[in-house]
Amino acid sequence: MAEVFAKAEFAGRWFGTMCLSEPQAGSSLSDVATRATPDGEGFEADPLGPRYRLRGNKMWISGGEHEITENIVHLVLAKIPGPDGKPIPGTKGISLFIVPKRLVDERGELTGERNDVALAGLNHKLGYRGTTNTLLNFGEGRYPVRGQSGGGLNGAGAGAVGYLVGRPGDGLRCMFHMMNEARIGVGLGAVMLGYAGYEASLDYAKQRPQGRSIRPEGKDASQPQVPIIRHADVRRMLLAQKSYVEGGLALELYCARLVDELNTGDAAAARDAGLLLEVLTPIAKSWPSEWCLEANSLAIQIHGGYGYTRDFMVEQYWRDNRLNMIHEGTHGITHGIQALDLLGRKVVMDGGAGLKLLATRIGATVERAGHVGGLAEPANLLAGALQRLGAATKSAWATGVPEEALANATPYLQAFGHVVLAWIWLDVALAAERAAGTLRAGKLGAMRYFFAYELPKVDAWLAVVASRNDVCRTLAEDAF
């Protein structure tokens, strides 16, 4: 059955959505309230797969309603009640269903009957306005299927028809199986928006005359103004952007290569790629979401007042990029949740095997750079930061109390990301050493910027992690 739907989607006839979030269940998918009940006698014998009726609301569904394709296929997470009629608590109770907007026969042809999936509202977003974003009601009775109108969301008999994918309770595993690489895709999208802003602001900085040199010759107001790229502070903003977006791009390409190695490498290479991806994927998603957004903010700043208007694209890049810290392409892992995943699970799993392998790879780059004139100093700085990251990871977990360790998961994610990016920049610098001209100068300049202005931030982030600073988790609610 899944093939019938997949073929039609592949052919561009149908559009697929992912329906995980609900108004009351975003980060916490275990609280999904959409219910699926077997659709009468013989429900398991349907040629399209075990047939259920779904009732519930799904929030934030991208592309949830439109007329661009002849059908829309919703992949919906819902809970099948147990023998006692109650849903199984937690994520174990979640199953995955295919719910088409328009019903189809076993060959995938439209039957002409509408399924009970109704648009309840459109979300008016800050950015990403090229896609509709919807609140959908499943099984409210607006489009009764096969004469069963029921009585609203709780009415017996009503419900949107859905076909089970995989086994009951296997919903999250099935959904994530399809999205292994989605986080790298989101990171790459964030990089591209950052890059577009960098290019736009670089162009603007070369053309916008404003002010004069702070050297003595600049005191002569009869002289023409200089382009703003001559001011050191504007160059600072350009270098920050360059280090974020070019570093981010190199990171995403490295992760994409690891994904290839998972599939094409020999057994040892595939195992290593898998381990590295465990610890690097949260960074591939979160680091560009945060820092390439900052790049977009700096691009606005370089445009001055003009950047705050719709006359230039940079404001749209920022608005569009702001989404990436909140969602994950088609469903969400916010920045905070990503941080908990990294410190709470990824760096401690298998006795810290992923973190150890990453440290080995970073150590190898440090070793190589140590022998190259001009790179020995950043190599030492990176080695020190890596050592302090490892020590802070241990200190965070020293008491073994998750509440204490994880209270500062986001500063940990930030520090981890900056150490990884310093490694990426050192590796880029090693390659740039062999290049010539402006390419070499630009890459080495951005690397120097990153080590001088960005890497020192790691120590401030790690200080609260290592000391298990408790102000955030302990301040009384009424003191805010």
Ligand X SMILES: Cc1cc2nc3c(=O)[nH]c(=O)nc-3n(C[C@H](O)[C@H](O)[C@H](O)COP(=O)(O)OP(=O)(O)OC[C@H]3O[C@@H](n4cnc5c(N)ncnc54)[C@H](O)[C@@H]3O)c2cc1C
Region from 8-16, 265-273, 335-343, 381-389 binding ligand X, contact rule CB under 6 A: 335-343
Q: Does 27 bind ligand X (CB under 6 A)?
A: yes
Asked whether 75 and 98 are in contact (CB, 8 A), the reply is: yes
Q: Does 21 bind ligand X (CB under 6 A)?
A: yes
Spatial separation of the C-alpha atoms in residues 198 and 244, rounded to whole Å: 10
Q: Does 134 bind ligand X (CB under 6 A)?
A: no
Q: Which of residues 38-67 bind ligand X (CB under 6 A)?
A: 60-62
Q: Which of residues 336-365 bind ligand X (CB under 6 A)?
A: 336-337, 340
Region from 87-95, 165-173, 333-341, 450-458 binding ligand X, contact rule CB under 6 A: 333-341
Question: Is 328 an annotated catalytic residue?
Answer: yes
For residue 72, the cross-strand partners are 15
| Among candidate residues 442, 448, 413, the one with its CA nearest the CA of residue 288 | 413
Nearest approach in angstroms of CB 63 to ligand X is: 7
The residue (of 276 and 407) whose beta carbon lies closer to ligand X is 407
Q: Does 334 bind ligand X (CB under 6 A)?
A: yes
Q: Which of 22, 278, 315, 328 is catalytic?
A: 328
Helices (H), 397-452: 402-406, 409-432, 437-449
Q: Per residue in 260-295, is it b (16+ CB within 10 Å) or e — as a string?
A: ebbeebeeeeeebbbbbbbbbbbbbbbbbbbbbbeb
One residue of 1, 4, 8, 18 binding ligand X per CB under 6 A: 18
Nearest approach in angstroms of CB 305 to ligand X is: 28
- Concatenated DSSP letters for 193-222? HHHHHHHHHHHHHHH-B----SSGGGG-TT
Q: Does 332 bind ligand X (CB under 6 A)?
A: yes
Exposed/middle/buried for 121, CB within 10 Å: 0-12, 13-18, 19+? Answer: exposed
Asked whether 109 and 14 are in contact (CB, 8 A), the reply is: no
DSSP state of 142: S
The residue (of 27 and 154) whose beta carbon lies closer to ligand X is 27
Q: Does 78 bind ligand X (CB under 6 A)?
A: no
Q: Does 254 bind ligand X (CB under 6 A)?
A: no
Classify the phi-psi angles of 97: left when phi > 0, otherwise alpha if psi is within -120 to 50, otherwise beta. Answer: beta
Region from 97-105, 109-117, 323-331, 455-463 binding ligand X, contact rule CB under 6 A: 323-331
Residues classed as catalytic: 328
Please give the residue ranges that form the binding site for ligand X (CB under 6 A): 17-21, 26-27, 60-62, 125, 128, 133, 323, 326-327, 330-332, 334, 336-337, 340
